[in-house]
Amino acid sequence: MVLQGKMAIITGAGGDLGRGMSLRLAEKGARVMVNDKNLDKALETVNLVVNQGGQAMAHNADVTKAEEVREMVDQVIREWGKVDILVNNAGDVRDALLIKMGDEDWDFVVDLSLKGSFVCARAVAPHMIEQGYGKIVNISSMAYRGNVGQTNYVSAKAGVVGLTHALGLELARYGINVNCIAPGLIETPKSRTLDEKTRERLIKMTPMRRMGEIIDIANAVLFLVSDVSKYITRQTIHVSGGMEGF
């Protein structure tokens, strides 16, 4: 129970990877604030955590809205007394080739991944600074190195790596670790809808010749939010079966 007594906020945790992270961190003793704009999905995750014997609550703050995020953090402080862990996981795609990409596609993706991570980090930082302890994990993607049809997503996810470097530097003196995970191709209900040809091509690009599992990402998060990694900060871990870019 390496996370016994720790309070965590995981954004986008009604989704596939965030749900896996919530279950893993709760299994190790953390209480989890399951954030998702979609409250029904957040509540489903809360139920799964509670069914495995853990503690969780849900909040449907939109991570791009500072006021809603502040309310969520206030609720954690009010009910659980502190916040130790933030995982900035909420993210989505709106793919299009550059010349066809609309301003709204750019704004949606960059706001969600990059601004959302900044807004959430800014909201928890005063509490973490005060207690001299905190773990922030930002979820990027191996796409941060470039991918066709994803200028918005690539820029947002590269921005998340930059945000990790900047926050890590600024917060290190307060005992706050800030790291980043870049998942490769992960087997989720969404990736199962890929057509067979694309799937095969992507697997061929992966040295381990298979897709990763949700638990692989959850385990990397667990490592970075526990104290076994306490001297690691400002790093990006590629959880990608050796795949280093598209």
Ligand X SMILES: NC(=O)c1ccc[n+]([C@@H]2O[C@H](COP(=O)([O-])OP(=O)(O)OC[C@H]3O[C@@H](n4cnc5c(N)ncnc54)[C@H](O)[C@@H]3O)[C@@H](O)[C@H]2O)c1
Interface residue list for ligand X (CB under 6 A) = 11-12, 14-18, 35-38, 41, 62-64, 89-92, 112-113, 116, 139, 141, 183, 185-186, 188, 190-191
Active-site positions? 153
Q: How far is the CB of 112 from ligand X (least distance, A)?
A: 5
Q: How far is the CB of 116 from ligand X (least distance, A)?
A: 6
* Amino acid in the structure at residue 60: N
Q: How far is the CB of 55 from ligand X (least distance, A)?
A: 21
> Which CB atom, from 58 or from 186, has the smaller least distance to ligand X?
186
Calpha distance 222→220 (Å, rounded): 5
* Amino acid in the structure at residue 129: I
Q: What angle do CA 244, 17, 151 make, to 5 degrees?
A: 50
Instruction: Number of helices (H) and strands (E) in the chain: give both, helices first.
Output: 8, 7
Helix boundaries (H) for 5-150: 16-27, 39-51, 66-80, 103-110, 116-131
> Which CB atom, from 92 or from 227, has the smaller least distance to ligand X?
92
> Which CB atom, from 115 or from 127, has the smaller least distance to ligand X?
115
Structure tokens at 226: 């526990």
Q: Which of the 8 DSSP states describes residue 4?
A: T
- Specify whether the CB–CB gap between 182 and 237 falls below 8 A: yes
Residue with tokens 């381990």: 208
Q: How far is the CB of 121 from ligand X (least distance, A)?
A: 14
Which has the closest alpha carbon to 62: 120, 3, 147, 2? 120
Q: How far is the CB of 180 from ligand X (least distance, A)?
A: 11
3-class DSSP state for residue 245?
Answer: coil
> Which CB atom, from 68 or from 170, has the smaller least distance to ligand X?
68
> Which CB atom, from 36 or from 84, has the smaller least distance to ligand X?
36
